[in-house]
Structure 1
Amino acid sequence: MDPLSILLDRARGRDAFVLRSILNPPWSVQVRDRAPLNVVAILRGTPWVVPSTGDAVRVDAGDIAVMRGPDTFTFADNPRTPTQVVVQPGPRRTTAAGAELREVADMGVRTWVNGTRTCDDGADDSSVLQIGKYRGLGEIATRLLSALPPLLVIPGTVHVESALVSLLAEETVRNEPGQDLVLERLLDLLLVAILREWFTRPDTDAPAWYRANGDPVVGPVLRLIHSDPAHPWTVAALARRTGVSRATLARRFTDLVGMPPMAYLTGWRIDLAAELLVESDATIDTVARQVGYGSAFALSAAFKRARGISPQRHRDRT
């Protein structure tokens, strides 16, 4: 598997939240729920998205906006419309002053409307947003998504996601057995399509590990490291597998990735360990061996150097 596939495989939704919002003007919804990632497909209308920093961006029907948390952002019919609804952690909805909103209407399965009208009764000026929130992302997903800008807009002219958006919208309003799992998987597929399209743009400032994936020397090394971190890799062993000298591999890897091979391997192992410590009940010694350390003591020493705390402290505080 290539590095992007391995990272995406670990960036699956956990406790994802999917909702359809029908918004009648004037409207302005500020999102403060600190979700690590929001994916919003515009099904209808031409709303604005206002990030916490930077200029407001108008999005059209068919566009997809991706907001990397935990920063605040606002969706509105007009950037000048005062905030009417604030989405807090939970999620729960309040006024801008913090008062609980009880008059908001839930119109059917996973559908929220900010008034009494719906798109079906003549509200031609309504906007319809298909919203997906990732409320839990592991260490590996964080490594991947940190490469994204705070606000990413995929224009509707890119049609690779349109079928997925339509299917996600159809499934959102269904209430069948296993529906939550279906929605999480569809949201995952949509995210994969979005990231793949964005990373392959010629003007994208893609992370170094992604750009290096196409290199005939560094690409295979990255695949070896990502797919088998527990192997006792050395620069010499990696060089033999790619048919170059140690010096050539070290120089080329550092030039393209920005750090030596062993430093990259250590960072990957520590990220994996941090995720496994939270996601599993495995002992620290077991986790250590899964990521390439011979004992809990060896992992603890490396973990403290990298993160400043012990593996047990990391597990206890999350």
Structure 2
Amino acid sequence: MSTPNQSTTSPRPFLLTGIPDLEVLHVWISIPFCITYVTAVLGNGLVLLAVSLDRSLHEPMYYFIAMLAGIDLTFSTAVVPKMLGVFWWGSREIGFKACFVQMFFIHTSTAVESGVLLAMSLDRYVAICSPLRYSSLLTGARAGQLGLLCLARGAAVMAPLMCLLTRLPYCRGRAVPHSYCEHMAVAGLACADPAPGHRYSLAVATLLVGTDSAFIAFSYARILRAVGSLPSQEARAKALTTCGSHVFIILIFYVGGLLSMYLQMFPVDLAPHVQVLVADLYLTVPPMLNPLIYGIKVKQIQEGILKVLGQLAGPGLTGC
């Protein structure tokens, strides 16, 4: 007898639960997620506009910030609109293929973001510790190549996981106990052993995070050492504030991602809605904070955004 996945008919869609056990509070829970998403779209959109339209920002550092903004827009948009649909209108159904497409975008984007954060830390390391070699080592073309390499690496490590999951027969119901297609929650509905996919995702996440975070830590350690030798106390304080905010965002990204994954993978004495909320916050808070820390707080990008807004407002004012 064939399973639903192996029949000639199309696989049945999944049903997203939202926040388990907190369904009656979905409307209230949706408010902060809606605010963070709107803030993320506006902030990252302004950063992308500024970097693309202002020629003075066509430098490697700003290209990396624009890449980060594009990634944040991609994976927050892959999650939040559907999540809000579940919270507001009870639109729980998501197609079988659409579920895995969403899953691929989420996990590929997080892997790509890890690579871009690493590239940004190396960019700052070269700029501060070897300023005379910066223009020869990092050009706009090389920044683009690094971005494509991060994208290729993210897609390459996630493609095998998608193959493992899509080949499983799903016959244990359709309700995914999550607010998006989190891969371990979906794999729990399979009637075959999902352990190979779990082991693969654990190994890849640990390897990527371990390698990238080690190089990031090395870069910022050298940066802090160089900053400590600056003669001006004001310059040291400014550099330490900037580095501190960067490290804060990096910690949220890595610690939040690993915590979300390990809570799903290993049995802990936590209510299901706590695990889901941790995962949801991990996917919504960093995209809101990144443009504030990496983009809008950078003086040149502030000026670029103001310039772009002035150009956009100019024709309207002229028309009046």
Which bin holds the TM-score, normalised by the shorter protein?
Answer: under 0.3
More helix by share: 2
Please report the TM-score for the alignment, with normalisation by the length of structure 2. Answer: 0.27
Structure with the larger RCO, 1 or 2 (CA within 8 Å, 6+ apart): 2
